[in-house]
Structure 1
Amino acid sequence: MGPIQTIEDLINLLRRRGVMMALIITLAASATLAHVLMRPEIYEAIAVIQVQSPSVGGEESQSSNQIARLLQTTEQQLTTRESLLEMIERHNLFSDTEGMNDDNKIYAMRTAVTFQSIATASQQAFGSPTSVSALTITVRLGEAEQAARVANDFAQNVLDRSIASQASRARDAATFFQTEEERISRQISALEDEIERFKAANPVVDEGTIAGERATIDAEIRAVSQEILAAQAELASLREKDRLRETDRRRIIDLEARETVLKTQRAALEGQRENLVDRVARTPEIERQLGAYARNLEQLQSQFQSVSERKVDAETTLRLEQENHADRFSLLERAVVPEYPVGGGRKKLLFAGTMGGIIAAFGLALLLETMNPVIRTSGQMQRQLGIRPVITLPELDLAKGRPKPERT
C-alpha cells in the first residue's frame, strides 16, 4: 500500500513537498522556455511542377514509368555533391554558420530539400504503372527569402534538365534505330547474295530429271561400249592375219584411234554419271543448308520490320518533342516567400515541458515518501495498524512557540 490513499494524504504531501515540487516545475518550465526561444525558426517554400500530357491525340510519346524514371534521374542529378555545392555557393547558404565544412553543408542541404511525386487522380488499369501528374519541391531553410529562391532554382533546373534529357533521349533513339535498320539491311543483302552464290554452285535437282538424265547417260555408255567392243573385235581379226595389206594397216590405225576416242567418250560419260550420283547424294545436305539460309533470312527480315516500326515511333517522338506536343513539364506554382515559420508548436512544446516537470516533481515526492514511510495522521494509523488512537497530540515547536501539525 502506498503513502497516498486519500485526498487528505495528497494535500498533506503537497504541503510538505510543495517547495521542492514548485522548484522542479519552475526549472523544467524555464529550461523548456529557453530551448523554445533558442530554437531556430524554419521557413518552408514549395514549388510545384506539372507533368502535362501530350497535346496530340493518339499514342503517348512516353510511358508513365519513363516519366517516373526521368524525374528520378533528374532528382539524382540535382542532389549530387557538385550540384549542391554550386547551389550553396550561388545562394550564399550557411554563410553565417562557422566551422561548417562542405560535407556538413551538403548533408544540411540534402535534408532541407524534398522531392515528392504526385500521382494522377484518374483510375489506372490493373498492372499498369502509376502515372505522375505533378512534382513538388519543398525547401526548408532558416531564411524565408532563401527558401523561396532555392525552391524556384531547383524547379527551374528540373525544367531545363527534363527538356534537355527528353530531347536527347528522342534524338538518341531515332539515331540508334536508324543505324540498326541500315545494319540489318546490309546483313540481309549480304545473306541474299550468299544464298544466290550457294544455289549457283549447288543446283537443286529434281528426282524425275535425275532419273531421266541417268538413263540417257547409261544408254550412251552402253552404245559406246558396244562400239568399243566392235572396234576391238575387228582389230583382233585384222591382227590375226599373217600378212597385212596396206589397207589393213590403215584400218588398224583408224580402229585404234577410234577405240581411243570411244574410251575417252565413255570415261567422260562415266564421270557425268558419277557427278550425277554425287549430286543426288548431296541433295539432302543442300536442302538443309538452304533451309538454314531461309530461317536466317526470315529472322533478319523480322528484326528489320521490328526496328523499322520502332524507328518510326522514335521519329514521331522526336517530332513531337521538337514541336512541343509531347509529355513536358511546366512550372505550375512558383515558390513564394513564406510569411510565418513552420513547425512552430512552441506552445505545445512549452506545455509538454511543463507537464514533464509536474510529473517529475510528483514522482520525486512519491519516491521520497516511499523511502521514508512515516505514519503522520490518525487515519493512516487506523488503516495501517488497525488501531484507533485515543488522543492526538500536536508536535510543539518550542523554539518558535507554535504547534506543528498533529502527529499521532
Structure 2
Amino acid sequence: MGPIASFDDIADMVQRRAAMMIFIMVVGFLVSATFGLSQAPVYRSVEVLQIAPPKVSDDLAATSVGAPLATGLPLLRERLLTTATLSEIARAYDLFPDQPQLSGAQKAAQLREALRIDWGGGASESTVVVISAELPVPEQARLIAQELSHRLIRLSAAMRISEAQATLDFLSGTERALRAELAAQQARMAVLDATADAEARAALARDTRRTRAALYETEQLRDRAATGLDLETRWQSERLVVIEPALRPDQPALDRRMPFIILGGALSAIAAFAAALVAEMRHPVIRSADHMQRVTGILPVISVPHADLRPVPAGPVARLVRAFGQRTPKGLNAP
C-alpha cells in the first residue's frame, strides 16, 4: 500500500506540505484573478422590427414588387453584414479602441461575431425581425443595434425600389420594341396593299394582330409597374417598422470574471493537493508503527513517541485541550 491510506495520513501530509500548497494556491489564484478581471463583461441590446402590411388597398398593393418582403430577408442580412458595411460602422462608432492594431477587415470580423439578425413568424405581415448586438460597452451595444436596424430598413426599401425600377425599365423597353415592330409591320402592309399577294397580306395581318395584343398587354404591365414603383418610393407597400427600439442595457448579459476566478481558485487547490501528493509519493514519511508496517510490511519491535520539548501551558483550558489532543503511542508491543 502507498504512504496515503487514511484521513490521518492526508491530514499529516497537508500539515507538512502546507507551505508548498499555499504557495501554489496563491500563485494560481493570482493568475486566475488577473486573467478573469481582464475579461470585459458583455452587454446585449436588442431592437425588434416587424413587416408592416401595405397602406393601400389590395388591388394597388398587388402592383408592387411581386415577392413578399419576408422572402428577401436572407439576402438583406447578407448585404448588411458585408465587410465593407461593418468596417464603416466600426470606424464611425470607434469600436475596439483598445486594439488599434486591427485592420478594418479584422474589426468587421469581430463585429460580425457580436451581431445576430433573426426572424420568425408565419405570414409576411406577422414576420418579426430581431437584431441584437453584444459589446463590452452598454451604450455602444445600443447604438450598434439601432444602427443596424435603421440600415436594414433603408436597405429593404432601396432593394424593393430597385426591383420595381428594374421591372418598369424592362417593360418600358419591351413596349418600345413592340411599338417599333408594329410600325415596321404597318409599313410592310402598306407596301403589300399595292400588290396582289393576298396570302402575304393575310400572314402579315396575323403578325400585326399578335404584335398589337402583346403591346396592349405590355402597356398594362408597364402601367402596373409604374404604380408599383410609385408605391415603393412613397413607402406605401410592405415595409419594416420598429416596434421595440434598442435600449441601453443595465446589466451584462455575460460576465466571465467571477467564474474564471472561482474556477482558477478550484484548479489551484487541486493542483496544490496533487503536487503535495506527488511529493509525498517520492519522499514518504513514516508517521507511526502501523504506518511503517503498512508501507514496509515490517512490524516494529518498539517505537519511541515524539518528545514535545515546548513548555506546557498552564490553566484549565490548556489542560483540557491537552487532554483531548493527547495520543497514545503505538508500536510498544513486542511481536
2:163 equivalent to 1:161: no
Which residue of structure 2 aligns with residue 34 of structure 1?
34
* 1:394 alignment partner, SS class: coil
1:150 correspondence with 2:152: no
Residue in 2 aligned with 1:117?
118
**Structure 1 320/386 Cα, relative in aligned 2: closer, same or farther at 3 Å?**
same
Cα distance in 2, alignment partners of residues 189 and 401 from structure 1: 128
How has the CA–CA distance of structure 1 residues 137 and 352 changed in structure 2, closer, same or farther, with 3 Å as cutoff? Answer: same
Q: After the TM superposition, which residues 45-60 of structure 1 pair with which residues of structure 2 at under 5 Å, given as runs?
A: 45-55=45-55, 56-57=57-58
Q: Distance in 1 between matches of 2:249 and 2:143?
A: 11
The 2-side partners of 1:98 and 1:315 are apart by 50
Aligned-residue offset at 1:356: 0.8
The one-letter code of the counterpart of 1:317 is G
- Where in structure 2 are the equivalents of 1:170-249 lying within 5 Å? 170-184=164-178, 186-187=180-181
What is the CA–CA distance in structure 2 between the aligned matches of 1:70 and 1:301, rounded to whole Å? Answer: 39
Please give the alpha-carbon distance, in whole angstroms, between the structure 1 residues aligned to 2:22 and 2:307.
27
Question: Which residue is 2:283 aligned to?
Answer: 372
Residue aligned with 2:305, SS: strand
1:327 match? 238
> What's the secondary structure of 1:135's corresponding residue?
strand
CA offsets, 1:205-242, max 9 Å, x none?
xxxxxxxxxxxxxxxxxxxxxxxxxxxxxxxxxxxxxx
Q: CA deviation at 1:383?
A: 4.0
> How has the CA–CA distance of structure 1 residues 73 and 15 changed in structure 2, closer, same or farther, with 3 Å as cutoff?
closer
**Which deviations, in whole Å up to 9, do the C-alpha atoms of 1:117-147 show, x marking residues without a partner?**
2111x3x8xxxxx998233333333433233
The aligned counterpart of 2:73 is: 68
| SS at structure 1 position matched to 2:237 | coil
- Mapping of residues 315-394 of structure 1, within 5 Å: 315=226, 317-322=228-233, 324-373=235-284, 375-384=286-295, 386-394=297-305
Task: Provide the rounded CA distance (Å) in 2 between the counterparts of 1:322 and 1:21.
Answer: 74
Contact 1:48–1:334, Cα closer than 8 Å, also in 2: yes
Q: Distance in 2 between matches of 1:17 and 1:111?
A: 47
Classify 1:389/1:144 alpha carbon distance in 2 versus 1 (closer, same or farther; 3 Å): same
The separation in 2 between residues aligned to 1:75 and 1:380, in whole angstroms, is 73
Measured in 1, the distance between the counterparts of 2:209 and 2:270 equals 84
Deviations 1:344-382 (A, max 9, x none): 143322211111111111221222223335554444444
Deviation at 1:309, TM superposition (A): 7.8
Identity of aligned residues (%): 25
Query: In the alignment, what sits opposite 1:273?
Result: none
Range moving further from structure 2, 321-330 or 349-358? 321-330
**TM-score of the aligned structures, taking structure 1 as reference length:** 0.59
Could you tell me which residue of structure 1 aligns to residue 325 of structure 2?
none
1:17 alignment counterpart: 17
Match of residue 208 from structure 1: none
Structure 2 unaligned spans of 5+: 313-328
Q: Report the secondary structure of 1:393's partner residue.
A: coil
Aligned to 1:237: none
- Paired with 1:375 and 1:191, the residues of 2 have a C-alpha distance of 118
Identify if the C-alpha distance between structure 1 residues 72 and 143 changes in structure 2 by more than 3 Å, giving closer, same or farther: closer
Say if 1:42 and 1:141, in contact at 8 Å, map to a contact too.
Answer: yes
TM-score normalised by the chain length of structure 2: 0.69
Partner of 1:91: 93
Q: Please give the secondary structure, in 2, of the residue aligned with 1:40.
A: coil
Gaps of 5+ in 1: 125-129, 205-285
Q: Which residue of 2 aligns with 1:80?
A: 83
Q: CA deviation at 1:63?
A: 2.9
- How many residues were matched structurally? 306
Where does residue 320 of structure 2 map in the other structure? none
In the TM superposition, what is the alpha-carbon distance from 1:391 to its structure 2 partner? 3.4
Structure number with bigger Rg: 1
Q: Report the AA paired with residue 260 of structure 2.
A: L
The Cα shift of 1:170 comes to: 1.1
Q: Provide the rounded CA distance (Å) in 1 between the counterparts of 2:219 and 2:296.
A: 102
Instruction: Tell me how far apart the structure 2 counterparts of residues 313 and 162 of structure 1 sit (CA, whole Å).
Output: 21
**In 2, Cα distance between equivalents of 1:378 and 1:298:** 120
Secondary structure (helix, strand or coil) at the match of 2:51 reads strand
> Contact (CA 8 Å) 2:117, 2:131: kept in 1 or not?
yes
